[in-house]
Amino acid sequence: MENLKIHHAGFFNKREHFIQKPQHLFLFFQIDGLCRMRTDDFESKELTPFCYLFFPGDKFEFEFSEKRKNWVAQFNYPEIRYVSDKQFSFSFGTENIILPRCIEVDKGDLMRWRNKFDALTASFMTPTPHERMLAQLYLLDILKYYIETVGKEGQTSPAAKLKQLIDALENMHFSIAELSEKCGYSVDHLRVLFKNKYEISPQEYRIRRIMAYAMELICKSNLVVSDISEKCSFQHLSHFSSLFKKTHGLSPSEALKRFRYR
């Protein structure tokens, strides 16, 4: 969070027409009163509500009516990088994902988005260290909402169906090929769809999912390591221990001693 610098956050309700090139990342949240939005590659007259991330140097034109309701945040954050006119990459810790620059916001989520932008604006306008830290957290929370919203899209796709099957613990004994067949696609084709959507292969996601469940059992159950391995559908304890250590950085026995609640 030390690399996150917020330059401005505010709410706008004035009727106006302007053309601008931002000098920083420019997060734009629009609810009402947009007559026209135009960039070099996009134009819309009725795209509301939505959230759009502009990059430095982008040229955009807005025209608003007297019903205007929109929030903006201008900031620098090196973990956000330009990918294309339609996408950007977002890194957090060791993870990196690709997100669309424009997302439509479900009307059922509007109050949540609005409250967070209002809180961000209020904290930014109160320049104590306490409030400036809150402003950074609010902005990261908005980016979290952004990721959640993208994750809700396409939940009925073949890749999403495969993910749901992998997430179901009762399916741990099925292979990826068998689960792909349940989705009505070949394993090779579905692997491509899955990787395109989630930026991770089905097999790697499956391993992470099972290892997360194994860690939960280590922390919360009374099972010994061999029982946890069996519960996670491993035939060989050595294979389970190897994958666990590769995922979590320590052996199951070490994790049991360190993390089990007693």
Residues 6+ apart with CB under 8 A from 251: 241, 244, 245
Contacts of 169 (CB under 8 A, 6+ apart): 213
Mean pLDDT by 10 residues, the chain (262 residues): 88 90 92 85 70 91 90 95 91 86 86 93 92 94 87 73 90 91 88 88 94 94 94 94 95 92 70
Residues 209 and 182 in one domain: no
pLDDT number for residue 156: 67
Same domain, 184 and 228: no
Q: Are residues 138 and 163 in the same domain?
A: no
How many structural domains is the chain composed of? 3
Decide if 204 contacts 247 (C-beta within 8 A).
no
Residue of 39, 58, 35 lying closest to 47 (CA atoms):
35
CATH number of the domain to which 52 belongs: 2.60.120.280
> Based on the domain organization, do 27 and 147 belong to the same domain?
yes
CATH number at residue 218: 1.10.10.60
Q: Which residue range is the domain that position 192 belongs to?
A: 154-199
pLDDT at res. 93: 81
- Do 193 and 239 fall into the same domain? no
Same domain, residue pair 216 and 97 = no
pTM of the model: 0.71
DSSP code, position 59? -
Q: Do 143 and 173 lie in a common domain?
A: no
pLDDT at 37: 84
**Do 98 and 212 fall within a single domain?**
no
Are 16 and 95 part of one and the same domain?
Answer: yes
Q: What pLDDT, on a 0 to 100 scale, did the predictor assign at position 96?
A: 86
pLDDT of residue 154: 57
How many Cα neighbours within 13 Å face the side chain of 154?
A: 14
* Whether residue 186 sits in one domain with residue 106: no
Based on the fold, state whether residues 124 and 10 are members of the same structural domain.
yes
22 & 148 share domain: yes
